[in-house]
Structure 1
Amino acid sequence: MRFDYSEFSGDQGFLSPDELFAPPNLMNFILQYGEQAMDAMANLEDEEEQAFIQQLIDAGLLEESTDEDGNRRLKMSPRLLRGLQHRALLEVFAEMKQGAKEGHSTREPGRTSERSDGTRPYRFGDPIGELDLPGSLQNAARRQVHRAVEEAREAGVEVPRGLRLPIGITPEDFQLHNTEGSADCATVMLIDLSGSMMRYGRFLQAKRVALGMSELIRGRFPLDTLQFVGFSSLAETLHERDLPLVMPKPVSIRDSQVRLRIPLEQAYANQEKIPLHFTNLQLGLRQARQILSRSGAANKQIFIVTDGQPTAHVTTHPATREDMLYLVYPPSDESSELTLREALRCQQRGIRIASFALMEDYWGMDWVGFIEKLTRLTRGTAFYCTSEDLASTVVESYLTGKKSKKFIH
């Protein structure tokens, strides 16, 4: 990234967000078309369009290179990624209802975070920085006066008036401000990459919330962690820098009935040869559980963003102990049952699960029963919303820690 410095004359003014970051239309174009958008911009022929791309390169928003065949390639710069995240977060908070809490705190008074109403007695190990000094001095003075009165009565002399100085203060007199106890949280967001996520702009909204959450946690909750896993026929870890370019898997087979069995290792090695547009939530949950098992956070949770019930699962062959991938349509009870078993494993390891079910297809709401089972089994949370409400729903859930089922109309 290049920086230019000059003397400030007072006439330049400060850059607006639109000048500081990439134009909104460019951001939306990249989010909507992913890698295809980058390829299209690299091959523009119109002189004005080429000049615009060069301006973006000079501004440090795009980076230019050539591939092995000498073709021009463009990729996003870190500055453009931060711009996408920043704009996504602003759009999310613009859509949120007023009154949402701006922090996730525990219900019990704690030893960190912001002060709340009331005080409590000091306990060994509490931070002295939260000491309520006027209240502590009042306790010490009240104790000293009470002791002086008791001593005068025992000696049969007149009770002294006023307070004797200096005031002797002990740890029993200490009084501390209550605080809202906060805790670190490790979150894995599971994003559905199946073919149906292309409809109604679902995946575009899923990427918006992922980018917005990244910016929110980095700025507001530095102790928290957020990682992403995309699940389709398989599951893959999504790096933050690649989120704007990720796209749902295209539908490659349209038979009314499908039942395919493939060794899982072979499926990962030959992804271009298998249909990838199925929904393997079981594999996504397994990968999320493995990621969270390596975290030392006090709280762990999985956010699931999906628009349908599982149509894929993995089983272990009893003889060879080889993992086998099954792609099944229409959805089978076996796929749902194995997915629920994996969700239960997550819950047994102390991982909270929140599901965000995208519900534009009212004619196809029979799959809601699967979400209901998952929620009851794991004692988790379910939110039912349209793709337009997804971003604000996810962020509000993260901030407030809501734990009840909710329908977003």
Structure 2
Amino acid sequence: MIGFHFSNYDPRQSGKSKFDQLLDLFTQLLTYTSGDVTEALQWLNELDKKYELTDDEYGMGDFIDELKEKGYITDDEQRGEIKITPKTEQSIRKRSLEEIFGKLKKTKTGDHQTYKPGLGDEVSPDTRPFQFGDMLEQIDFTESIRNAQINHGLDSFTMQEDDLQIRETDFKSQTSTVLMIDISHSMILYGEDRITPAKKVAMALSELITTKYPKDTLDIVVFGNDAWPVEIKDLPYLQVGPYHTNTVAGLELAMDILRRRKNPNKQIFMITDGKPTCLKIGKRYYKNSFGLDRKVTSR
């Protein structure tokens, strides 16, 4: 029969261990709780009650112990609370990357490819005569042998420097990126959670850039009434505040950061849910949440 067959999802058939199954859920919940381990574990317990994620052989206490043993969480004795470790922070970013980019279809490979000749591993169809300083691996031997046959004949085959042809490769450049994230109150307004998807996209992008393009620079800017930089490791902990949306402040800080970067390739990504509603004029905040304000948008 042609078509699709649907059935209930059974996590026990996924091939993962009980710990890995719970870890997937735990890292997802940490994104929703802004890194609050206690709240995430409480949610996980509620899910366990409803969906029977654990059993008599492996309980939630075993999972918590294993989290500590494997270095995902640690006890903060000074504050009397449990917190996640840098290992968990990176794990959250990796899982966000897999969630957002993991199902892309196969397409042309890339790595900041440009169409300028230079050192790289993307072969260009263009060739040119050999020049002093060219590397051996750049020589196109097929074209070079062809030139030698044409220039010297088959009977007395020789290859000289003038016969050599170089296969160009496309130069791969570096890029400086600033990622702006809106943390104004509207990101959770009317009961709609927009900040969690925003954090997932931000973590996925940061993990992609830091792993795939390690020579690039990435700066994170959050903005509400004001704008300020944060570290990549702080992304899981971002929370919405009682702020308006001062897009101008975010863009000004982003451009100021990029001005200090010597790289000529610069870009800004902004994650926001809507219109700007705030300006800072001197020490005073000018705010208007009721539609587009010409005074705000003209800046």
TM category (shorter chain) comes to 0.7 to 0.9
Residue 288 of structure 1, CA deviation: 0.9
Correspondence for 2:204: 212
What whole-Å deviation, never above 9, does each CA across 1:275-297 have from its counterpart, x for those lacking one?
A: xx200111111111121122222
**CA 1:217–1:95 in 2, change beyond 3 Å: closer, same or farther?**
same
Correspondence for 1:242: 234
Q: After the TM superposition, which residues 320-339 of structure 1 pair with which residues of structure 2 at under 5 Å, given as runs? A: 324-330=284-290, 331-338=292-299
Residue 219 of structure 1, CA deviation: 2.4
Correspondence for 2:244: 278
SS of 1:176's equivalent in the other structure is strand
Give yes or no for contact 1:22–1:83 (8 Å, CA) kept in 2: no
1:87 aligned residue (91, 95, 107): 95
Correspondence for 1:26: 26
**CA 1:139–1:210 in 2, change beyond 3 Å: closer, same or farther?**
same
2:180 counterpart of 1:190? yes
Residue 299 of structure 1, CA deviation: 0.8
Give yes or no for contact 1:42–1:73 (8 Å, CA) kept in 2: no
Give yes or no for contact 1:233–1:327 (8 Å, CA) kept in 2: no
Counterpart residue identity of residue 305, structure 1: I
Residue 246 of structure 1, CA deviation: 0.6
C-alpha separation between the residues in 2 aligned to 1:18 and 1:125?
58
C-alpha separation between the residues in 2 aligned to 1:90 and 1:42?
23
Counterpart residue identity of residue 335, structure 1: V
**CA 1:19–1:82 in 2, change beyond 3 Å: closer, same or farther?**
farther
Residue 23 of structure 1, CA deviation: 0.9
Give yes or no for contact 1:235–1:284 (8 Å, CA) kept in 2: yes
**CA 1:64–1:21 in 2, change beyond 3 Å: closer, same or farther?**
farther
Residue 207 of structure 1, CA deviation: 1.1
SS of 1:329's equivalent in the other structure is coil
2:122 aligned residue (114, 117, 124): 114
C-alpha separation between the residues in 2 aligned to 1:122 and 1:225?
35
Residue 100 of structure 1, CA deviation: 6.3
Counterpart residue identity of residue 134, structure 1: T
Q: After the TM superposition, which residues 340-359 of structure 1 pair with which residues of structure 2 at under 5 Å, given as runs? A: none
Correspondence for 1:180: 170
SS of 2:233's equivalent in the other structure is helix
Structure 1 gaps of 5+ residues are 1-14, 146-161, 251-276, 317-322, 339-409
Counterpart residue identity of residue 329, structure 1: S
TM-score, length-scaled by structure 2: 0.77
Structure showing greater radius of gyration is 1
SS of 2:193's equivalent in the other structure is helix
Q: After the TM superposition, which residues 56-67 of structure 1 pair with which residues of structure 2 at under 5 Å, given as runs? A: 56-67=67-78
What is the identity percentage for the equivalent residue pairs of Structure 1 and Structure 2? 28
Q: After the TM superposition, which residues 240-389 of structure 1 pair with which residues of structure 2 at under 5 Å, given as runs? A: 240-250=232-242, 277-316=243-282, 324-330=284-290, 331-338=292-299
Give yes or no for contact 2:26–2:40 (8 Å, CA) kept in 1: no
**CA 1:181–1:309 in 2, change beyond 3 Å: closer, same or farther?**
same
Correspondence for 1:270: none
Correspondence for 1:373: none
Give yes or no for contact 1:137–1:169 (8 Å, CA) kept in 2: no
**CA 1:291–1:18 in 2, change beyond 3 Å: closer, same or farther?**
farther
RMSD over aligned Cα, in angstroms? Answer: 3.0
**CA 1:314–1:144 in 2, change beyond 3 Å: closer, same or farther?**
farther
C-alpha separation between the residues in 2 aligned to 1:225 and 1:21?
34
Residue 233 of structure 1, CA deviation: 0.9
TM-score, length-scaled by structure 1: 0.58
Counterpart residue identity of residue 164, structure 2: F
Counterpart residue identity of residue 233, structure 1: N
**CA 1:73–1:231 in 2, change beyond 3 Å: closer, same or farther?**
same
**CA 1:101–1:89 in 2, change beyond 3 Å: closer, same or farther?**
same
Structure 2 gaps of 5+ residues are 1-14, 46-58
SS of 2:99's equivalent in the other structure is helix
SS of 2:206's equivalent in the other structure is helix
